[in-house]
Amino acid sequence: MIVMLTATTRELDDEQAAVAEVLAALDLEKNLRKNSLGIVSCYSEFGETGVLKAICDALPFDCIGTTTCLCSVGQETDQMIFAITVITSDDCEFRTTIIPIDDGYEASITNSVSELIERDGLKPAVLLGYFPLLNTKGGDLMLMAIDRTTGGIPIFGTVTVDHSIDYSTAQTVYNGEMYRESMVLGAVCGDVNVTFEIAALNEDKIRKQKAIITESDGNLLLGVNGKSVQKYLEEIGLMQAELGMGIVPFVIGHQDGTKPIARAVYTFTPEGHAVCGGMMPEGASLSIGRVDADDVLQTSDKAIRKLVDGDSGCVILCYSCLARYLALGLNVTTEAEKIKAAMDGADYHFAYSGGEICPLFDSEGKLRNYFHNYSIVFCKLS
């Protein structure tokens, strides 16, 4: 059984006051079990002032996570906040590792992940992944490298993001230190049931007309219906600028019957190719969607109620795409509040994401790991 403890602080400058507030809320002497892991989401300035380091140093277990632009645990929701969730158990084990994502990142992932999953001979039930936000190495590529090493152990997590326009302070977190170009992983092993849920766009927000991806290179979309991306967009009446605003996702339909995945368009190359937020497989169908505030709230509410369904004894981790946050306009806390209201007493950790990592069932009922955009993803531990 896994139990969740949560704490928050808004104290950005006084390390001692922040540590005291977090320790008082966690009450470790009373609540901590044999094995524990801390999961952090925070405003990036907590790392710059030393508060993040001070809190993690005061805790007797590893802490992993990312910066974010808004998070929510317990009854607290805010942008400029430090939030920590502690998952603690007598019959589960937790392991962690950090992996630099440099030119040799594939070999580094293979070596580090192999050691992580083979440690003590106990296979993880799920990996928790916290990926850096990099222009040169997409989340899909990192996920695929892990998958090749583990043989398909479920992976759930997020890509780091922050509050700045250029995401220049978006970093992963490992034991109080912040990293611009490193991946952090946690392994949950032992007697635990893991359930996943995902929501993206309502069907009525996706155009019925489907095209076919005819040429691509990883996350680079080169051709649609045998034409250039620019030509295709012109034919359907879309401008490149509209896609760059973050409200017009591409929706990818897989040939194997797996649930469709939404993809963001980050930018266009000088040649007019679309740089997307994940792999764009040739032969897959492509539809155009749209995201708005009502859709964000409806899909979140439906997904979380399905997952909780009266199970107030579970632990839920939840990450929602930054595009959904932007779609809320000035009412940036409404999705987090919707999640909190629907939890029905279950413990949860919610934060915004630069890309979501969550398995899906394929047409044969097998879980496969996927990287998502425009989505809200959930992992239930019970």
If phi > 0 it is left, if psi is from -120 to 50 it is alpha, else beta; for residue 283 that is left
DSSP 120: G
Give the Cα separation of 158 and 39 in Å (integer).
12
CB-based contact 289:211 (threshold 8 Å): no
* Residue 57: Cβ within 10 Å count: 13
Max mean pLDDT range (77-86, 128-137, 320-329):
77-86
Sequence-distant (6+) residues with CB within 8 A of 163 are 43, 44, 69, 79, 169
Stretch 89-111: mean pLDDT: 94
Mean pLDDT of 275-304: 88
Please give the pLDDT value at position 246.
56
Report domain extents, the chain. 2-199+295-381, 203-288
Residue 253 reports pLDDT greater than 90: no
pLDDT of residue 209: 85
Predicted confidence (pLDDT) at residue 162 exceeds the cutoff of 60 = yes
pLDDT in tens, 213-236: 999 988 889 999 999 888 888 888
pLDDT greater at residue 255 or residue 69: 69
pTM (2 d.p.): 0.91
Find out whether 79 and 186 touch, Cβ atoms under 8 Å. Answer: no
Question: Regarding beta strands 220-224 and 211-217, do their DSSP bridges make them parallel or antiparallel, or are they unpaired?
Answer: antiparallel
Average pLDDT over the chain reads 90
pLDDT at 146 over 80: yes
Question: Residue 240: is its pLDDT beyond 70?
Answer: no
Calpha distance 33→335 (Å, rounded): 32
Residues contacting 94, CB < 8 A, separation 6+: 35, 36, 37, 61, 62, 87, 186, 187, 188, 189
Whether the CB-CB separation of 63 and 90 falls below 8 Å is answered with no
d(CA 99, CA 181): 9
First-to-last C-alpha distance (Å) of the chain: 6
Task: Provide φ and ψ at 42, rounded to 5°.
Answer: -160, 160
- Please state, in angstroms and rounded to a whole number, the distance separating the CA atoms of residues 382 and 1: 6
Residue found by looking up tokens 């059984």 in the block: 1
| Amino acid in position 128 | L
Closest by alpha carbon to 273, among 213, 329, 321, 313?
213
Ordered DSSP codes for 326-339 = HHTTT-TTHHHHHH
The string of DSSP letters for 190-228 reads ES--EEEEEE---GGGB-S--EEEEEEETTEEEEETTEE
DSSP string across 77-96: EESS-EEEEEEEESSEEEEE
Question: Each residue of 360-380: pLDDT tens digit?
Answer: 987 788 899 999 988 999 999
Crossing angle (nearest 10°) for helices 334-342 and 293-308: 20
**DSSP codes of every residue in 132-146:** ---SSS-HHHHHHHH
Question: Average of pLDDT values for 339-354?
Answer: 88
